[in-house]
């Protein structure tokens, strides 16, 4: 029993940054904009929050640190918004560019914070609970509010939404910036809570996993909780199960990825595939079709 | 008049000397970023110390170089006037040899490899003796009899270190085990954390590791588990929990090599058999939670209380560690952890009684010592 | 101000807008250099001297171009068909694995060895990507997710092999396979790492795929599937088959890139993060910049090769952190795609 609880605690601890970033990506994808730049925004958030929390000698304000991460993520997403919404450029390429610029800038600016310890750090619980609450909130937003309905319509059929008087561009901007803010927050969790330290490359591909999880959970915020915890559990178990049998460690290391594919294939077999928003990835231009 | 002439001669001599010295440009090719707080950071510290210690020496570095880019990087460095090039990763071995053939007048020095040429030497600062001392302390401090180890890749270097560590643990506590989790990465804070969590969940109450961040130490401290610093001073990350550790000082090797290049001892023609295998005796490695602190004072009482039997005599673990540490730092150490008889964990006799393992054997070590638990790829049966 | 569509933008306008965008990117990155205490002009001069004005620089640009060309050509076809393969990195690794397997364990006459390795590599990459297409067709699993996840699985596979069964006898226990024999190594341009047969293969592939796409029935079908799935259904063109074909081609091309890296440069199977330098991801950019024309990859691949090689020059000459390359390519990319709007529209003051 203790064993199960412990594994669950690990799943939640590791799954939380995935959940937060996944919810962010989910939010902007529901509004029709893909942002592959999660990894870069996460890195910027991680650095911004660590820099503020460290201050001059490890004595910065933690609340301000979290806020800095949210701002860093949101502002960098604004760039993605400008390029893809206003300039109508390809969302996939812009996201890739953002992940490069984000990782690059964080790496360049972060030199002076490399490997510093942070003793006064927040505990995991508020973040874990906050992430869950956020998932519920998004589910409520999409399921039961006018704003949610508008967001979804912008992602499904922007022309029709436009005709109904919904401001497509404004909503898309809002969703992209909010999504980026959440990616930044996920970064803050990594550098303030999970480690707590900053080193270049510490996001370790988690941003990409978050992007994949959005597909895995079928764009559904409630299922995102299970998706992130499921992945977190498998990730932890690759080490917990290592050495308990003659099976090579590399098999366990690939299990999280293989099982995600397997689960998705099984749900596809039963016809339970989540559907991508209809207008996902397509820039909206008034007056075209 | 005479004095003025003398002064002129001295000035000329100095000038010439300086001119000769200023020709020396040492360049470093790193496998990782210099801020990694691990392997590359330590090499860069060594570079900076060498630059301070040797007048007229200029240095340059290139970070995060992939093996595929090595040759091109060497091309550019040589064009920029480098006459000694250090390649600081095993992964650069084949490419460094190729470069040495292409530039016969440039001196190459390759860390941790085994291929040499007339203008290419090899060097390594190794921890295995220090690991044994850390093992003694881990054996004394563990209550559950289970010591965890987060390990990068299953290569001879790690098998040697883990084995020396396990021999130390068992010298104090013959029933204790060293439980290994492989993360198959040199740098991965995320994997390091989850592997540490798994080890602690399995009941390990002391952890040691090989990875390029302080994550294992930070994670262990969260769970109130003592740990051992790796590569650099990591005491500052958890002052209450870092017991000791293994520390490196590459600068002694860099300074020695560069001085010998400067005074003409090393030329691009005579390096075929030059291999540095430097240990505590040469001060290339140290025992410590941080530089100048071999054992964290917080753990001294416990280590003085714990006892072990050495050659029929009972003594405290603290005294044993200090005695051995003094010995391996002396000009002629009498003791070595890999002195026979040693069997591997499958019972095969690997080092006969009365014999020590040679440097070559240590470098090719594939077996692991008794007490090591966990899968070890490519282990001889 | 408002945007006014341009029905037929002149080529001059395209060149002008692109040059302006590049100028903007250079100015922005120049700002980064300046913030680093480095004169932007000095930095650009050094980059230029170290790449295009130096024969060794050219070699570096070419060496980086080879895998980008192969993978990019394949990906441009895949993106045209709306098959979002972002797992070229894993397919490259699978190619390397199968090529290494042939080199190490299949006793072949020396003359046949290299071709067999290339074939095996193409097969490995094709199967790895084909798996994603099969999962998409049969189980409706989104290929972005599958190809991304399979990257990690491919990494684990390579590590398993060199940790265990394929560990070399000549490497003293290090995690490498044995070195390939001389006849299993690709010839290179003198004194460089430019494995020219693979370069030739890349050029041929880009041209061939261009012909396939625009001069064949299969190409027509692929384009219809990509541009108008509804019409494809109406015309009785199987979407599933199109995806499978495209996956096999693009995966095979990535596999060939893996063959080039290990037969041309490393000469053994090595640890995955050291093997590839992230070409599978960089090639996505190469393919997008080519706007679905495999032949245009002949321009965009060397452009990215130039940025990568130029970043190396900055690293060596000014001790700049390696992340400068990411900033450089990211900003360049933003400027290029951000400018596309002005190719098709012009600004009018109301």
Q: Do A107 and C326 touch (CB under 8 A)?
A: yes
Among A27-31, A98-102, C66-70, C275-279, name the one with the lowest average pLDDT: C275-279
Instruction: Show Cβ contacts of residue B315 under 8 Å, excluding neighbours closer than 6 positions.
Output: B307, B308, B309
Pairing of strands B177-182, B25-29: unpaired
Interface touch C277/B66, C-beta < 8 Å: yes
Q: Is the peptide bond before A196 cis (omega within 30 degrees of 0)?
A: yes
Q: Please report the pLDDT score of residue C106 as a whole number.
A: 95
Distance between CA B218 and CA B209 in Å, rounded?
A: 12
What pLDDT score does A24 carry? Answer: 98
CATH number belonging to domain C39-319: 1.10.3470
Domain boundaries in chain A? 2-269
Residue A3 dihedral angles phi and psi, to the nearest 5°: -60, -45
Does pLDDT of A287 surpass 50? yes
Q: Are the folds of B22-125+250-278 and B128-248+285-373 the same?
A: yes
| pLDDT of the residue at A261 | 94
Location of structure tokens 């940054």: A17
- C166-197 in b/e burial notation, b at 16+ Cβ within 10 A? bbbeebbbbbbbbbbeeebbbebeeebbbbeb
Query: Which residues are B150's β-sheet partners?
Result: B181, B209
What pLDDT is recorded for position C1? 63
Neighbours of chain A (3+ CB pairs under 8 A): B, C
Nearest chain A residue to C284 by CA distance is: A93
Q: Return the pLDDT at A274.
A: 64
Which tens digit of pLDDT belongs to each residue from A5-23?
999 999 999 999 999 999 9
Interface test with C, best of A85, A104, A269, A273 (most C CBs within 10 A): A104
Residues B244, B248, B251, CA angle at the centre, nearest 5°? 150
Host H or E run for residue C61: helix C55-80
Q: Do C160 and A251 touch (CB under 8 A)?
A: yes
| Residue among A126, A140, A128, A124 at smallest CA distance from A27 | A140
- Token pair recorded at residue A280: 């996902």
pLDDT category at A117 given cuts 50, 70, 90 is confident
A111 HSE (CA, 13 A, CB side): 13
Residues of C with Cβ-Cβ distance to A92 under 8 angstroms: 84, 284, 288
C337/A101 Cβ within 8 A: no
pLDDT of res. A246: 81
* Helix, strand, coil % in chain B, rounded to nearest 5: 40, 20, 40
- Provide the token pair at B126: 């190794």
CB C330 within 8 A of CB C25: no
Give the percent of chain C with pLDDT over 90. 75
Interaxial angle between packed helices A146-156 and A124-144, expressed in degrees from 0 to 180 and rounded to the nearest 10: 80
CATH of domain B22-125+250-278: 3.40.50.2300
Using the Cβ of C321 and the Cβ atoms of chain A, whether some distance falls under 8 Å is answered with yes
- In chain B, the DSSP E strands lie at 25-29, 58-62, 84-87, 107-111, 120-125, 146-151, 177-182, 206-209, 227-231, 242-248, 275-278, 285-287, 307-310, 313-316, 342-343, 349-351, 372-373
Q: What angle do CA B344, B350, B351 make, to 5 degrees?
A: 125
Residue numbers in B near A6 (CB within 8 A): 201
Contact B153 C175 (CB under 8 A): yes
**Residue pLDDT, tens place only, C125-166:** 999 999 999 999 999 999 999 999 999 999 999 999 999 899
C-beta atoms of C316 and B68 within 8 A: no
CA–CA dist B85, B74 (Å, integer): 8
Cα three-residue angle B270-B271-B276, rounded to 5 degrees: 140
Give the Cα separation of A261 and C207 in Å (integer): 35
- DSSP code string of B156-223: HHHHHHHHHHHHHHHHH-TT-EEEEEE---SS-HHHHHHHHHHHHHTT--EEEE--SSSHHHHHHHHT
Q: Among C63, C164, C313, whose Cβ lies nearest the Cβ of B377?
A: C164
The residues near B170 (Cβ < 8 Å, ≥ 6 apart) are B135, B139, B176, B369, B370, B371
pLDDT tens figures, C251-260: 999 999 999 9
Is it true that the peptide bond before B341 is cis, omega within 30 degrees of 0? yes
Quick check: C293 pLDDT over 60?
A: yes
What secondary structure letter does DSSP report for C182?
G
Residue C60's alpha-carbon distances to C123, C188, C194, C314, in angstroms, are 28, 12, 8, 14
At residue C15 the predicted structure's pLDDT band, cuts being 50, 70 and 90, is confident
pLDDT tens, residue by residue, A263-275: 999 888 776 666 7
Q: Do C175 and B365 touch (CB under 8 A)?
A: no
DSSP one-letter code for B293: B
Q: How far apart are CA C79 and CA C300, in angstroms?
A: 15
- The pairing of strands B84-87 and B107-111 is parallel
Distance between CA atoms of residues B86 and A107, nearest Å = 25
- Structural class in CATH, domain B128-248+285-373: alpha beta
Ordered by start, the domain boundaries in chain B are: 22-125+250-278, 128-248+285-373
Neighbouring C-alpha atoms within 13 Å toward the C-beta of C76: 30
Report domain extents, chain C.
39-319
Please give the backbone phi and psi of residue B32, each rounded to the nearest 5 degrees, phi first: -125, -175
Q: What is the largest CA-CA distance in chain B?
A: 84
The residue in chain B having the minimum alpha-carbon distance to the alpha carbon of residue C157 is B184
Question: Which of 1.10.1740, 1.10.3470, 1.10.150, 1.10.260 would CATH assign to domain A2-269?
Answer: 1.10.3470
| Angle C51-C57-C63 from CA coordinates, rounded to 5° | 115
Rounded distance, CA B81 to CA B86, Å?
Answer: 14
- The residue whose two tokens read 């440039």 is B106
Q: Is B152 on the interface with A (CB under 8 A)?
A: no
pLDDT in tens, A135-187: 999 999 999 999 999 999 999 999 999 999 999 999 999 999 999 999 999 99
Instruction: List Cβ neighbours of B3 (8 Å cut-off, separation of 6 or more).
Output: none
Nearest by CB: C156 against A105, A107, A250: A250
What DSSP designation does A190 have? I
- How many CA atoms, within 13 angstroms, populate the side-chain half-sphere of residue B31? 21
DSSP character for C129?
Answer: H
Nearest to B319 by CA among B337, B306, B328: B306
Residue A288: the pLDDT is: 55
Give me the mean pLDDT over the C38-47 stretch.
Answer: 93
In tens, the pLDDT along C200-217 reads 999 999 999 999 999 999
R_g of chain C, CA atoms, integer Å? 21
* The pLDDT value given to residue C60: 93
Q: What is d(CA C224, CA C239) in angstroms, rounded to the nearest whole number? A: 9
CA angle A229, A234, A237 (to 5 degrees): 125
Backbone angles phi, psi at B60, to 5 degrees: -150, 150
Measure the CA–CA gap between B93 and B99, rounded to whole angstroms.
Answer: 10
The DSSP annotation for C229-289 comes to HHHHHHTT--HHHHHHHHHHHHHHHHHHHHHHHIIIIISS---HHHHHTTHHHHHHHHHHH
Provide the greatest CA pair distance for chain C: 75
Cα–Cα distance, B189 to B356 (Å, whole number)? 36
Q: Please list the ranges in chain B whose pLDDT falls under 70.
A: 1-22, 36
CB contact under 8 A, A197 and B187: no
**Residue A119 CB neighbour total at 10 angstroms:** 13
Contacts of C157 in chain A (CB under 8 A): 250, 254
Mutate to test the interface with C, among A97, A270, A282 (most CBs of C within 10 A): A97
In sequence order, which residues have a C-beta less than 8 Å from that of residue A7 and are 6 or more positions away? A233, A236, A237, A240, B201
Contact A261 C326 (CB under 8 A): no
**Residue from B290, B214, B273, B212 nearest B44 by CA:** B212
Give the ipTM: 0.95
Kindly tell me the sign of the dihedral angle through the C-alpha atoms of A248, A251, A254, A259.
negative
Element (H, E) at C65: helix C55-80
Shortest CA gap C20–chain B (Å): 32
Whole-angstrom Cα distance, residue A77 to residue A79? 5
């Amino acid at each position: 029993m203790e064993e199960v609880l412990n594994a669950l605690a690990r799943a939640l601890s590791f799954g939380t940054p995935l959940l937060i970033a996944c919810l962010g990506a989910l939010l902007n994808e529901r509004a029709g904009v893909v942002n592959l730049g999660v990894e870069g925004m996460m890195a910027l958030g991680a650095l911004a929050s660590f820099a503020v929390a460290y201050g001059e000698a490890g004595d910065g304000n933690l609340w301000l640190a979290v806020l800095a991460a949210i701002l860093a993520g949101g502002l960098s997403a604004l760039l993605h918004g400008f390029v893809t919404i206003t300039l109508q450029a390809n969302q996939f390429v812009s996201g890739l560019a953002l992940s490069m610029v984000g990782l690059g800038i964080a790496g360049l600016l972060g030199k002076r914070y490399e490997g510093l310890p942070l003793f006064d750090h927040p505990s995991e619980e508020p973040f874990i609970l906050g992430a869950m609450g956020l998932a519920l909130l998004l589910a409520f937003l999409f399921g039961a509010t006018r704003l949610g309905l508008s967001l979804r319509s912008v992602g499904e059929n922007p022309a029709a939404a436009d005709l109904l008087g919904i401001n497509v561009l404004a909503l898309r901007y809002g969703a992209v910036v909010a999504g980026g803010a959440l990616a930044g927050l996920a970064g803050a969790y990594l550098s303030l809570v999970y480690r707590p330290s900053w080193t270049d490359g510490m996001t370790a591909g988690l941003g990409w996993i978050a992007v994949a999880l959005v597909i895995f959970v079928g764009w559904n915020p409630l299922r995102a909780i299970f998706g992130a915890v499921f992945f977190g559990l498998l990730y932890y178990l690759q080490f917990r199960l290592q050495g308990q049998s003659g099976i090579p460690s590399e098999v366990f290391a690939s299990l999280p990825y293989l099982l995600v594919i397997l689960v998705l294939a099984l749900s596809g077999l039963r016809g339970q595939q989540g559907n991508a928003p209809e207008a996902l990835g397509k820039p909206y231009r008034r007056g075209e079709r | 008049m005479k004095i003025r002439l003398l002064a002129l001669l001295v000035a000329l001599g100095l000038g010439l000397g300086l001119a000769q010295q200023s020709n020396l440009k040492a360049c470093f090719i790193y496998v990782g970023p210099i801020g990694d707080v691990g392997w590359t950071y330590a090499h860069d510290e060594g570079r900076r110390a060498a630059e301070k210690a040797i007048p007229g020496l200029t240095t340059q570095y290139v970070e995060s170089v992939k093996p595929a880019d090595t040759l091109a990087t060497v091309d550019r460095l040589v064009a920029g006037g480098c006459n000694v090039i250090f390649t600081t990763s095993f992964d650069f071995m084949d490419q460094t040899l190729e470069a040495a053939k292409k530039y016969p007048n440039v001196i190459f020095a390759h860390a941790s490899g085994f291929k040499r040429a007339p203008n290419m030497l090899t060097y390594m600062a190794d921890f295995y003796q220090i690991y044994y001392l850390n093992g003694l302390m881990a054996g004394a401090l563990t209550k559950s009899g289970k010591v965890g180890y987060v390990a990068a890749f299953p290569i001879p270097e790690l098998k040697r270190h883990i084995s020396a560590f396990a021999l130390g643990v068992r010298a104090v506590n013959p029933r204790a085990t060293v439980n290994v989790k492989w993360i198959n990465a040199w740098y991965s804070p995320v994997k390091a954390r989850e592997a540490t969590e798994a080890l602690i969940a399995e009941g390990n109450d002391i952890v040691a590791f090989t990875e390029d961040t302080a994550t294992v130490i930070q994670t262990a401290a969260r769970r109130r588990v003592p740990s051992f610093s790796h590569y650099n001073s990591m005491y500052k990350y958890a002052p209450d929990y870092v017991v000791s550790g293994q520390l490196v000082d590459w600068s002694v090797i860099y300074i020695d090599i560069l001085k010998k290049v400067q005074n003409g001892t090393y030329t691009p023609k005579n390096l075929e058999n030059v291999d540095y295998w430097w240990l505590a005796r040469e001060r290339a490695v140290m025992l410590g939670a941080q530089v100048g602190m071999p054992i964290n004072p917080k753990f001294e009482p416990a280590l003085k209380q714990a006892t072990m039997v050495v050659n029929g005599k009972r003594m405290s673990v603290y005294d044993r560690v200090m005695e051995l540490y003094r010995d391996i730092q002396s000009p002629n150490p009498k003791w070595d952890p890999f002195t026979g008889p040693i069997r591997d964990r499958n019972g095969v006799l690997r080092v006969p009684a009365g014999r020590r393992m040679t440097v070559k054997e240590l470098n090719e070590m594939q077996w692991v010592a008794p007490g090591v638990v966990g899968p070890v790829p490519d282990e001889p049966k | 101000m408002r945007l006014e569509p341009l029905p037929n933008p002149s080529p001059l306008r395209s060149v002008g807008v692109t040059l302006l965008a590049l100028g903007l990117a250079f100015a922005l990155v120049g700002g980064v250099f300046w913030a680093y205490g480095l004169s932007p002009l000095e930095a650009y001069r050094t980059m230029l001297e170290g790449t295009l004005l130096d024969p060794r620089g050219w070699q570096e640009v070419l060496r980086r171009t080879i895998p980008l060309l192969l993978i990019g050509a394949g990906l441009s076809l895949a993106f045209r068909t709306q098959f979002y393969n972002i797992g070229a990195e894993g397919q490259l690794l699978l190619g390397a694995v199968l090529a290494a397997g042939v080199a190490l364990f299949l006793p072949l006459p020396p003359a046949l060895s290299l071709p067999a390795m290339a074939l095996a590599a193409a097969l490995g990459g094709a199967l790895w990507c084909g798996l994603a297409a099969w999962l998409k067709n049969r189980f409706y699993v989104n290929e972005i997710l599958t190809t991304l996840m399979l990257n990690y699985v491919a990494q684990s596979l390579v590590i398993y092999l060199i940790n265990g069964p394929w560990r070399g006898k000549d490497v003293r226990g290090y995690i490498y396979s044995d070195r390939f024999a001389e006849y299993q190594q690709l010839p290179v341009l003198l004194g460089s790492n430019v494995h020219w047969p693979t370069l030739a293969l890349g050029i041929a592939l880009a041209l061939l795929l261009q012909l396939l796409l625009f001069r064949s029935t299969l190409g027509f079908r692929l384009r219809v599937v990509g541009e108008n799935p509804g019409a494809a259904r109406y015309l009785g063109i199987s979407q599933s088959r199109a995806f499978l074909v495209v996956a096999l081609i693009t995966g095979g091309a990535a596999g060939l890139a893996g063959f080039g890296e290990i037969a041309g440069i490393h000469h053994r199977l090595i640890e995955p993060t050291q093997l590839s330098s992230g070409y599978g991801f960089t090639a996505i950019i190469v393919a997008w910049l080519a706007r679905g024309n495999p032949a245009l990859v002949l321009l965009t691949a060397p452009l990215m090769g130039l940025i990568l090689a130029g970043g190396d020059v900055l690293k060596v000459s000014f001790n700049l952190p390696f992340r400068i390359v990411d900033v450089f390519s990211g900003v360049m990319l933003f400027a290029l795609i951000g400018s596309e709007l002005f190719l098709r529209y012009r600004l009018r003051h109301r």
